[in-house]
Amino acid sequence: MIVLELALYFAALSLVAFGGMPAVMPEMQRFVVEVKGWTTPAEFTQLFAVAQAAPGPNVLIVSLIGWKVGGLAGALVGLVAVCGPAAAIAWWVTELWERFKESPWRAAIQKAIAPLVVGLILSGGYVLATPHAIPEWRMWLIAGAAAAIHVVTPRLNPLWLLAGGAALGAILLS
């Protein structure tokens, strides 16, 4: 049953995931942690960390959640559910979207979505760095430093920032 729930939820999430995975992180955290209690807030941030550090698309956090909740079946079902509906849209919509290239509606939709995606990505960062909904200065320090470095040195491989986060975590959070 839990695997079915996982499938339905992530399939729905897939359809609103404009801007990719970062934009749906706050919603995923809300559902997995607050609504379902499948992980604790701290565990969610840790699973996110594992998915970020592992090579490959960051959507794989869904597999980790599925794995935790329903084993290998959960991992596979979660991944297919979060990719499937979006893949179907990508399959059908591409040509349609091309056809409406000159339409003012297409331009309006693109312009409307952009600030929303940015707001959602910001929300994702905020939620992940504030797992218990209470500001925690050590988490914010690490996140703030990573954010600042990411902005001023765009060419730096983000893996270095994750490594720095690991080192700071070992010092500050243990």
Partner 1 sequence: MTQADFVETIGLCQFLPGPNIGNASIVLGKRWFGFAGALVAAAGLYALPLVWVLALGALYLEFADHTYVRAVVTGVGAAGAGLFIGTAIKLGTALVRKPAALVLLLGCFLAVGVGRVSMLLVMPLAAVVGIWIARRGWL
| Shortest separation between residue 1's beta carbon and partner 1, angstroms | 21
Q: Quick one: which of 57, 103, 132, 135 contacts partner 1 (CB under 8 A)?
A: 57
The conformation of residue 57, written as its DSSP 8-state character, comes to -
Beta-carbon contacts of 136 under 8 Å, excluding residues fewer than 6 positions away, are 129, 130
Other Cβ atoms less than 10 A from the Cβ of 81: the count is: 22
Q: Distance (Å, rounded) from C-alpha 6 to C-alpha 80?
A: 11
| Shortest separation between residue 5's beta carbon and partner 1, angstroms | 15
Q: Distance (Å, rounded) from C-alpha 65 to C-alpha 6?
A: 9
Closer Cβ to partner 1, 5 or 150, answer by number: 150
Q: Does 7 bind partner 1 (CB under 8 A)?
A: no
Q: Does 49 bind partner 1 (CB under 8 A)?
A: yes
Q: Quick one: which of 3, 36, 73, 89 contacts partner 1 (CB under 8 A)?
A: 89
Q: Does 37 bind partner 1 (CB under 8 A)?
A: no
Q: Does 54 bind partner 1 (CB under 8 A)?
A: yes
Q: Does 173 bind partner 1 (CB under 8 A)?
A: yes
Q: Does 81 bind partner 1 (CB under 8 A)?
A: no
The conformation of residue 56, written as its DSSP 8-state character, comes to S
* Total of residues contacting partner 1 (CB under 8 A): 107
Q: Distance (Å, rounded) from C-alpha 113 to C-alpha 117?
A: 6
Q: Does 149 bind partner 1 (CB under 8 A)?
A: yes
DSSP percent split of the chain into helix, strand, coil, nearest 5: 80, 0, 20
Q: Quick one: which of 96, 99, 113, 135 contacts partner 1 (CB under 8 A)?
A: 113
Structure tokens at 134: 């209470």
Q: Does 3 bind partner 1 (CB under 8 A)?
A: no
